[in-house]
């Protein structure tokens, strides 16, 4: 043993309880009757390279609000729902392998978010707290749409059509383009309601709005987000 290692202090356990791991991966995902699934092959060898065609596994989820596709790792095993048990079960080939165990709960959570998104959707409420703070939804002027089409002619079908016009105490209004797959409503000037089927995109867009006005510690001016929830 080297002298540097001998001088290191011994680590002490500050508690006597054992480490508790999450078991979310074992919880079945309920599948409503309005949702259809297209499952990939049952399982493939985890040793396959990621560039292999057999390792490219996709789970397709379709519902009344839209559709979604999720990449499934080779080590993940999906059990299709049946009439007696309308749930999809997620497992891995070897739970003792750390990489497979980490993908277990992640894959289950992503599948649950996709099923919930295409069946009932997600909602985020954005509150503007400050004197004079207000928001409105307006169409993007055609001149800006034409410039966007010239810059990216192959993505003209997915260009945003609306934008948020938010007044946050600056000398100019804040203009934020709304992604095509997110619906925005402004029921009152200080409240913005975001709805969509993709939980990650919805949270990212809400964070983009909140970035413009961080919490002010003295006067309390800020943009507040409520927790993402089911519609």
pLDDT exceeds 70 at position 225: yes
Strand order in the sheet with 87-92: 29-30, 87-92, 76-79
- Of 45 and 4, more confident: 45
Question: What pTM did the predictor assign?
Answer: 0.80
Q: How far is CA 192 from CA 47, 76, 197, in A?
A: 47, 39, 17
* Tens digits of residue pLDDT in 67-97: 999 998 888 888 888 888 899 999 888 888 8
Kindly state the DSSP code that residue 119 receives in the 8-state scheme. H
CA–CA gap between residue 66 and residue 197 (Å, rounded): 7
The burial class, CB within 10 Å (0-12 / 13-18 / 19+), for 27 is middle
pLDDT exceeds 70 at position 11: no
Percent of the chain with pLDDT over 70: 84
Using alpha carbons, select from 59, 54, 64, 53 the residue that is nearest to residue 38: 59
- Range with the poorest average pLDDT among 69-73, 85-89, 157-161, 163-167: 157-161
CATH superfamily of 122-151+159-230: Ribosomal protein L6 (3.90.930.12)
The domain spans of the chain are 22-119, 122-151+159-230
pLDDT exceeds 70 at position 22: no
Domain 22-119 adopts which CATH fold? Outer Surface Protein A; domain 3 (3.90.930)
Helix intervals (H) in the chain: 3-6, 98-119, 142-151, 199-210
């Amino acid at each position: 043993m080297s002298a540097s290692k001998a001088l290191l202090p011994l680590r002490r356990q500050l508690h006597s309880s054992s480490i508790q791991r999450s078991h979310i991966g074992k919880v079945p995902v309920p599948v409503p009757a309005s949702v259809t699934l297209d499952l990939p092959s049952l399982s493939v060898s985890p040793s396959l390279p990621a560039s292999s065609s057999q390792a490219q596994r996709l789970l397709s989820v379709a519902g009344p609000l839209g559709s979604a596709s999720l990449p499934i790792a080779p080590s993940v095993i999906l059990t299709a729902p049946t009439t007696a048990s309308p749930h999809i079960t997620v497992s891995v080939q070897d739970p003792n392998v750390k990489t497979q165990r980490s993908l277990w709960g992640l894959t289950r959570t992503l599948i649950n978010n996709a099923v919930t998104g295409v069946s009932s959707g997600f909602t985020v409420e954005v509150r503007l707290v400050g004197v004079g703070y207000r928001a409105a939804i307006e169409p993007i002027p055609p001149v800006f749409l034409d410039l966007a089409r010239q810059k990216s002619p192959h993505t003209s079908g997915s260009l945003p059509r609306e934008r948020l016009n938010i007044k946050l105490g600056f000398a100019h209004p804040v203009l934020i383009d709304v992604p095509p797959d997110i619906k925005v409503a402004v029921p009152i000037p200080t409240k913005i309601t975001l709805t969509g089927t993709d939980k990650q995109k919805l949270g990212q867009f809400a964070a983009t709005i909140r970035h413009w006005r961080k919490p002010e510690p003295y006067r309390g001016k800020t943009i507040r987000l409520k927790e993402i929830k089911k519609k």
